[in-house]
Structure 1
């Protein structure tokens, strides 16, 4: 332990300012539209902007103004706060004493997604979005490294095992897909009167210019124009996760995804049944994904699978293109870490990755053609 993690979190990590954000004009305006009073005390806001545990569980020094602090992610620390910096105490001992296993990708993904995507018991609803809350987007490997308060080194690896960013990307896609399906099939959280919870659907299927005439088919949905589509970007990416592992399973995910999209045009019961089938398939594959060694040989297979879907027109939805860019970043970093590229080649890949990200900078005016060209250029430069 470096024992400077708190200082790094406090200075650089946006989580440290999560509660303070609730006191700005934008947050107060959102709360006013929702009719929930002061956002800094409203349950709907505190669920994700603070460590909003029950009052009877709070220690003497607990402050809600700390925002998303250490214990928000690492668990109540009463039994391990002192021992976790003691080299004579093992990481497993700390876990037994209540530390949350953030080093395990499945557990970390579920924890992060509980806020960055929402769950049945704390939903980021379409109503909240309609009041002005930003659109949510998340990818486990990318977001893990946006503001790290620790370093992966020999000591970390000795305690917790080898780090693999592509594996974390893969696991994150599967857990996010499961999370979507779990909320969709939850009758209290996934539905609002006669409507499903619209935050589960693709924003840009509806939010586009009325004069836009650019609709085109997506083979992954099997739906025609004018149909509200589930946001299946994580399910789509999970097929690429499986490309180096099990192509037959990837094909099965595609067919079941198409079945789910079709079911949404039939009935609630049909949707629930299709969602549960797909969830069971993903759940059965997730342990294999988590255990797979996404080594150098798997990277080209993943990029080839991603590009093949681009050729088939799968990235017509902005959310999918956004996930592709973050996946490409994980692969490029892996190329560097695995020693597959020299410094000159790495710089070229980074430049083309920046170009790819630039094409999705503005979700309201992004160009599918420019995105497709940037992805092809990145793929061409890969080893």
Structure 2
């Protein structure tokens, strides 16, 4: 059993009745960032001798990590304009804003040194430190001991994805709605592996893997796609958050199906939806990617996801009942397959199968939608980094692949000027250069 697998079991035991990642994070009192930033803890300027960690995590978080600045954004003119349009008043006081821009715990669950102005601090991701703060630095205390006391298992890709997506995508207890987007909130986009390493405050090495188990970035990407797809379907079928009056919650649908420059005849068919022109369609980017996740794992299952996704698209044009039924069938399929994906060893052969699958989808026109193309670009990056980590690339080959990757990203840097043919050309060029 992989080490992160038993960490999941420890989490399930310690969390007790916790139903979601948000519940687990809130299960114990939050003591505040100040309790972690001491110079002999995570606020050191240099690594201590024989330390298992860098010990400068606080400084890195404070200076480089956007999570440290999320509360400050609530005082910007843009934030105030959004809440004014929504009738919410001061964004620094509005719960719907604080829930994701801060570690918004109930007052009774905050320690003496807790400050809401710290933004998304340590315990927002690692869980309330009430029971494990004083013990977790002791070398005799194992990681399993910390998990049993309420530390959240961020090393576990399933648990990390559920937590990250609760804000970066939204879930039924803290939903980023179409109304919030309409008031001016930026479009949400997330991919687990890419976003994990945008601003890292730790390194994967022998000491980390000894404590927390094997790390595999492509596996993390794969799991993240599955959990995001599950989350989409969970919200869709929830009668309170998935619907707004007579309309479904439109944030679940593809933004660019409606919001695009109206010029020329740009519509074209997508096999993955089976829908005609002028139809508002679900944002199925994570479902599209999950088929590529399955390419080296189970090709028959990938085809099943394709067919059930297409059936869901068709059901949205029929009735609410048909949509719910199709979503629940697909959700059950995903639940079965995410476990299989999480246990798969994404080796070098898997990387080639994933790139080939993505490239084939490009040729079929499946990246007509910007959101799917954006996800495919981030997936390609995870694969390229994995090739490097596996020692498959010499210096020149690595430089070539990164140049091809930059060219691919260039095609998705402006959603308003996205062109599928240009994206497909860059994707094919990257595929041809891969080992």
Please indicate the TM-score interval, normalised by the length of the shorter structure. Answer: over 0.9
Alpha-carbon distance in 2 for matches of 1:334, 1:149? 20
2:145 is aligned to 93
- The answer to whether structure 1 residue 136 and structure 2 residue 188 are counterparts is yes
1:191 is aligned to 243
Contact 2:257 2:280 in 1 (8 A): yes
What do residues 94-146 of structure 1 show as CA deviations (whole Å, max 9, x unaligned)? 00010000000000000000000000111100000000000000000000000
Displacement of 1:81: 1.4
Contact 1:222 1:258 in 2 (8 A): yes
What do residues 268-293 of structure 1 show as CA deviations (whole Å, max 9, x unaligned)? 01000000000000000111100100
| Counterpart pick for 1:353 among 393, 402, 405 | 405
Displacement of 1:357: 0.3
Alpha-carbon distance in 2 for matches of 1:41, 1:28? 11
| Counterpart pick for 2:206 among 138, 146, 154 | 154
1:380 is aligned to 432
Contact 1:105 1:168 in 2 (8 A): yes
Question: SS of the residue aligned with 2:170?
Answer: coil
Contact 1:91 1:160 in 2 (8 A): yes
Cα-Cα RMSD = 0.7
| Counterpart pick for 2:292 among 234, 240, 244 | 240
Gaps of 5+ in 2: 1-52
Question: SS of the residue aligned with 1:378?
Answer: helix
Contact 1:3 1:85 in 2 (8 A): no
Alpha-carbon distance in 2 for matches of 1:354, 1:284? 35
Alpha-carbon distance in 2 for matches of 1:333, 1:211? 38
For residues 162-181 of structure 1, the aligned pairs below 5 Å read 162-181=214-233
- The answer to whether structure 1 residue 54 and structure 2 residue 106 are counterparts is yes
Displacement of 1:211: 2.5
- The answer to whether structure 1 residue 82 and structure 2 residue 134 are counterparts is yes
For residues 1-383 of structure 1, the aligned pairs below 5 Å read 1-383=53-435
Question: SS of the residue aligned with 1:352?
Answer: helix
Contact 1:84 1:94 in 2 (8 A): yes
Q: Bigger CA drift: 16-25 or 204-213?
A: 204-213
Alpha-carbon distance in 2 for matches of 1:347, 1:197? 43
Alpha-carbon distance in 2 for matches of 1:46, 1:200? 22
What do residues 9-65 of structure 1 show as CA deviations (whole Å, max 9, x unaligned)? 111100000001000111011111111000001011001000111111111111110
Q: How many residues align?
A: 383
What do residues 209-254 of structure 1 show as CA deviations (whole Å, max 9, x unaligned)? 2223110000000000000000000001000000001000000000
Question: SS of the residue aligned with 1:286?
Answer: helix
Alpha-carbon distance in 1 for matches of 2:96, 2:200? 27
Alpha-carbon distance in 1 for matches of 2:394, 2:244? 53
Alpha-carbon distance in 2 for matches of 1:45, 1:248? 42
Displacement of 1:295: 0.6
Contact 2:261 2:416 in 1 (8 A): no
Contact 2:83 2:89 in 1 (8 A): yes
Displacement of 1:86: 2.1
Displacement of 1:4: 1.5
Alpha-carbon distance in 1 for matches of 2:377, 2:89? 38
Alpha-carbon distance in 1 for matches of 2:302, 2:421? 26
Contact 2:62 2:68 in 1 (8 A): yes
Question: SS of the residue aligned with 1:373?
Answer: helix
Contact 2:147 2:153 in 1 (8 A): yes
Alpha-carbon distance in 1 for matches of 2:348, 2:138? 36
Gaps of 5+ in 1: none
